Amino acid sequence: MSTDPQIHRAREVLLNAQSVSVLTGAGISAESGIPTFRDAGGIWENFDPEQVATPEAFARDPGFVWKWYADRMQQFRSSSPNRGHQSLAALEDRISEFRLVTQNIDNLHQLAGSRRITELHGNIWRTRCLGCGRKATLSEVPSDLPPKCSECGNMLRPDVVWFGEALETENIQQAEAACHAEVFIVAGTSGEVWPAAGFVHQARSHGAFVIEVNTQRTVLSDVTNMSLMGPCGEVLPQIIR
Ligand code: BV8
Ligand code: ZN
């Protein structure tokens, strides 16, 4: 667990910061009951990413991939933001220059009230039409899979970024701008996925004070100024008074 002096130091740093950016991963949603990818019992223990999170997998069997997402949507519907998400929303209200960059697609940051969000990997409740390219937001879990476009009748895909797919340029630009903040918090991510993990390295190289919040050490821990060991739902409320 992180020590009080570390918590106190992190709180001081945040109190004096004019600009703060945050990068979050699946770990911040763990206390909302959503399994992470690479922890024990994680998603990749039961599913091979190549079978469900690549454009090839979708081309091969869109119904199977949509079933995987529909099941996750059901789970997300019964999950609500935890104190970790809520603390970041409160921090945003206090800091004039704030950006939340998330790898998560579960929409919990939005539900917690965060506004200046960059969704690096998209959002599970948004679809994109393979025919006309139209984006739409689903209000409920689709029943007949794969869903069809109400405009042109073509197949819809989840508006998420799969392995091997490029992130949207605008999101990369927003994330790169976020790396110029005085303080960069990286919370609940294993740092395994690129280019998301690379933004932590960029922030450090720009001279940011990098604070990690995680239940265990990660490949990013050596890139940080401070690594606070503990769950997001406990540590973030302590450092964001
Ligand atoms: C791309 C889909 C190129 C949506 C996801 C180098 C450079 C560039 C690319 C690569 C590269 N090396 C390899 C690549 C390819 C690949 C990649 O990174 N592979 C990895 C696995 C090696 N990257 C890509 O393919 C990316 N695309 O680069 O395209 C390109 C360029 C031009 C033109 C064409 C192509 C696309 C990556 C996006 C993939 N999509 N998701 C979905 O279905 O969710 S990634 C997936 O992993 C999720 O988005 C997830 O958020 C993300 C990262 O995982 P984490 O969030 O970190 O979750 P994880 O389980 O790993 O860790 C949880 C952590 O939380 C742990 O550390 C744990 O200790 C901690 N924790 C647990 N509980 C708590 C906690 N911490 C605090 N509190 C708790 N309570
Ligand atoms: Zn369409």
Per-residue three-class SS string for 12-57: HHHHCCCEEEEEECHHHHHHHCCCCCCCCCCHHHHCCHHHHCCHHH
Domain ranges of the chain: 1-34+81-121+167-241, 35-78+123-160
- What CA–CA distance (Å, rounded) separates 131 from 113? 33
Q: How far is the CA of 77 from the centre of ligand 2 (A)?
A: 26
pLDDT for res 50: 84
* Whether the Cβ atoms of residue 221 and residue 2 lie closer than 8 Å to each other: no
* Whether the Cβ atoms of residue 152 and residue 132 lie closer than 8 Å to each other: yes
Identify the three-state secondary structure at position 162. coil
Fold of 35-78+123-160: SIR2/SIRT2 'Small Domain' (3.30.1600)
* Same fold yes or no, 1-34+81-121+167-241 and 35-78+123-160: no
Q: How far is the CA of 132 from the centre of ligand 2 (A)?
A: 4
- 8, 85, 109, 121: the catalytic one is 121
Predicted TM-score (pTM) of the model is: 0.97
pLDDT for res 41: 87
pLDDT for res 1: 67
pLDDT for res 12: 97
Q: Is 107 exposed, middle or buried (0-12, 13-18, 19+ CB in 10 A)?
A: buried
Q: What token pair was written down for 169?
A: 């340029």
Dmax of the chain from CA atoms? 59
pLDDT for res 147: 97
Ion ligand 2 nearby residues (CB, 5 A): 129, 131-132, 134, 149, 151-152, 154
Cis peptide before 195 (omega within 30 of 0): yes
pLDDT for res 156: 98
Taking only the tens of pLDDT, the chain with its 241 residues reads 667 999 999 999 999 999 999 999 999 999 999 999 999 889 988 888 888 999 999 999 999 999 999 999 999 999 999 999 999 999 999 999 999 999 999 999 999 999 999 999 999 999 999 999 999 999 999 999 999 999 999 999 999 999 999 999 999 999 999 999 999 999 999 999 999 999 999 999 999 999 999 999 999 999 999 999 999 999 999 999 8
* Whether the Cβ atoms of residue 36 and residue 116 lie closer than 8 Å to each other: no
Query: Given 3.40.50.1220, 3.30.420.40, 1.10.340.30, 3.10.20.30, which CATH number is that of 1-34+81-121+167-241?
Result: 3.40.50.1220
pLDDT for res 47: 87
Q: Whose CA is nearest to atom 34 of ligand 1?
A: 166
Residue written as tokens 């697609």?
Answer: 105
> Looking at ligand 1, which atom is closest to the CA of residue 84?
78
